[in-house]
Amino acid sequence: MDCVRLAHGRSEARMLNWVKAPKEGGTMGNLALEDLVIDNTADGLFRVNRRVFTHPHILELEHHRVFEHSWIYAGHESEVPQPGDFRARKVAGRPVILVRGSDGQVRVLLNTCTHRGSLVCRQPSGTANSFQCPYHAWTFSNQGELIGVPGEEAYSAAFDRRDLALATAPRLESYRGFVFISFDPDIEGLVEYLAGAREYLDLVCDQSEAGMEIVSGTQLYSMRANWKLLVENSIDGYHAPVTHQRYFGFLTEVGIDPGVLQRRRLGRGKSLGNGHAVIEFQPVGGRPIADWAPWFGEARKAELEAIRQRLEERFGSARVQHDPGEPQFAHLSQPHRERYRGHHGADLLSRDCG
């Protein structure tokens, strides 16, 4: 596997043979991408040169070849439940507005004025009929159309508002309320792109009898590191007993069997295809749903059993019940392994390091 394939998650030919790097003390010349990753399956040897995480030219290549040709998660439909509701955020480095227009349609608009490029929406969320650029007051509807231009009469007859609506990504698709965009007009359909990650979205969505809704409020954090390090950390269970020692100590204090915790630590990373991945491990108990555990108390037993029964009626007992002989089922109430942390580019869903 060459370096580009590692980053992109596609089995395509190398797109750049050499990365030209500035010399540092005379020790660093041109870098051949195929020399940056050693993937020797026969000898069980895997090595990645640290320049993969630090070289600006490689990052530039990744922006062009990874994020420009992936489906990127932009938000959930429940975040904009009413016409005019919007969320402004960055997706793959671009400022966008996730908005439900007055016509009820969910769109992802590029948050950049088509006149001089200023942001037209400077609030992180809210409800609005229109967005106005603070520079020259060009105004756009919540469906993206240009509806107001001061001094419009000074423009020539060639001026046409319809040509200057807010831009959108070439592709937008939604799967079970999860909204994705892509800047590649020729990318495969979202369902095909998700590959095995689709099962995990279904697993999450099907647990709720009332539907899914994103909880309001946001916890933001940032890291001064290459994006691939965050992706790696998300499917790295090796660090958990050390970095999260206090958490495991807390679980023991509240009565979780240490043996159960030890089995939980025996998780493994699993490829879902197209660069998506998860960690699978034994659940502590009560996860993900309708699996009674002693710390819930006897009073909750009947309630959880009723939920389990309704799940069986909806999906069949084979999908709901724990069945070690059929591990291919995506068990809902008592899974063979707890499944979590799908990601896309930034999380589930961007084809990153396969």
- The answer to whether the pTM exceeds 0.85 is no
If you ran DSSP here, which 8-state letter would residue 254 be given? T
Question: What domains can you pick out in the chain, each with its CATH number?
Answer: 3-65 (no CATH), 72-187 (2.102.10.10)
Which residue in this structure is represented by tokens 């200057």? 164
| pLDDT score for 56 | 92
| pLDDT score for 44 | 94
Distance CA 13, CA 178 (A): 31
If you ran DSSP here, which 8-state letter would residue 101 be given? -
User: How sure is the predictor about 110, in pLDDT bands with cuts at 50, 70 and 90?
Assistant: very high
Terminal Cα-to-Cα distance of the chain (whole angstroms): 10
**Residue 82 predicted with pLDDT over 90:** yes
| pLDDT score for 286 | 57
Per-residue pLDDT tens over the stretch 40-81: 999 999 999 999 999 999 999 999 999 999 999 999 999 999
The answer to whether the beta carbons of residues 230 and 221 sit under 8 Å apart is no
Helices (runs of H) and strands (runs of E) counted in the chain: 11, 17
Higher pLDDT, 212 or 161: 161
